Amino acid sequence: MIDISWIDVLTVSGILLIPIFILAYYKTGQLKTMGWSFLRMTLQLSLVGFYLEYIFEIDSVAINLAWVFLMIIAAGFTITKRSDISLSRYYLPVTAGIIVNVLINGLVFAFFIFEDNTFFSARYIIPVMGMVIGNTLNTAIVAIRAYFSSLKKERQKYRYYLMLGASENEALYKFSSEAMKIAFSPMLASVATMGLIWLPGMMTGQILGGSNPLTAIKYQFLIMIAIFTGSVITVAVTLNIAQTMQNKL
C-alpha cells in the first residue's frame, strides 16, 4: 500500500473548512464539538498507531487479550454515557452485553476461520474485535436511548399493561421490541445496499493493500455477519439485564 506523508494528511485535512463553514452558517452550535471530536480522534489514533507497533512486535496473547478487554471497558463507558442513562446503574449491564458479543464472535473466528490459534495474534484479534465492538456502539446507543426514552414518555401505557394482568417482562416487551426496530432498521438498510451503493472500509482497505477482491469480499461478508450478530446480542443482553434490574426496584 502506498504510504501517505504527514504533509499530505495535513493538506487534505483542509477540506474540513467546508463543514466548518456550513455548520457556522446554519448556526448549529456544533463547531466546538466538531473541533474537540477531531482533535481527540487525531490524538487517539496517533497514540494507538505508535502503541500498536510495539504490541505487534511483542505479539503476546496476554497483552492482546488485555487490549481487547480495555476496548470493552471503554465501549461500555461510551455507550452508557451517550445513551443518557445512569452510569452507576447500567454500566455493568451494557458491558455484560459487549462481553457476550466478544466471546461469541471471538470463539467463532478463533475456531472456524483462523487456524492454529493465529487469531490471537495482535495482527488479527485487535483489528477484528475492534471492528466488532466499534460498530456496535451506534446501534446500541440508539436502541438503549430509544428504550428508556419510550418507557419514560409512555409510563402510563406500561402501567396499563400491568393493570391488564401482564407481568413486568411482558409489559416491557413492547418497549424492547420498538427499540430494536428503531436501532436495527438503518443497519439492515445499510447491509442491503452494500456493494451496490458503497464499499465498506475493511474491503476497501484490503483491496488498496493488494488483496484479491474476492478474498476481500469473503472477509467483509464474515465481518458484517459478526458485527450485526454482535450488535443484536449486545442490545438484547443489555435490555434483558436492565429489565431484570427494573423488576427488582
**pLDDT grade, residue 246 (50/70/90)?**
low
**pLDDT grade, residue 228 (50/70/90)?**
very high
Residue 222 CA to residue 64 CA, distance in Å, equals 21
Whether pTM exceeds 0.75:
yes
Average pLDDT of 44-60? 82
pLDDT score, position 213? 79
pLDDT score, position 54? 83
**Any long-range contacts for 180-183 (C-beta under 8 Å, 24+ apart)?**
180/143, 180/232, 180/235, 180/236, 182/142, 182/143, 182/146, 183/139, 183/140, 183/142, 183/143, 183/146, 183/231, 183/235
Cα–chain center distance at 159? 33
Residue 249 CA to residue 245 CA, distance in Å, equals 7
**pLDDT grade, residue 208 (50/70/90)?**
low
The pLDDT tens digits of the residues spanning 10-20 come to 898 999 999 99
Average pLDDT for the chain: 86
All residues at 6 or more sequence positions from 54 whose CB lies less than 8 Å from its CB, including other chains = none
Average pLDDT of 19-34? 90
| Contact assessment for residue 79 and residue 140, using Cβ atoms and an 8 Å cutoff | yes
Residue 220 CA to residue 206 CA, distance in Å, equals 9
Residue 181: is its pLDDT beyond 80? yes
The pLDDT tens digits of the residues spanning 146-178 come to 999 988 888 787 777 778 777 777 788 888 899
pLDDT score, position 248? 55
Which residue type does 198 have? W
The pLDDT tens digits of the residues spanning 78-107 come to 999 999 899 989 999 999 999 999 999 999
Question: Is the dihedral angle over the CA atoms 49, 50, 56, 62 positive or is it negative?
Answer: negative
Rg (CA), the chain: 21
CB atoms within 10 A of CB 27: 8
Supply the angle between the helices 31-58 and 61-82 in degrees, to the nearest 10.
160
Residue 143: is its pLDDT beyond 90? yes
Highest mean pLDDT among 109-123, 192-206, 207-221: 109-123
| DSSP category for residue 194 | B
Q: With pLDDT > 90 as the criterion, what percentage of the chain qualifies? A: 41
pLDDT score, position 123? 85
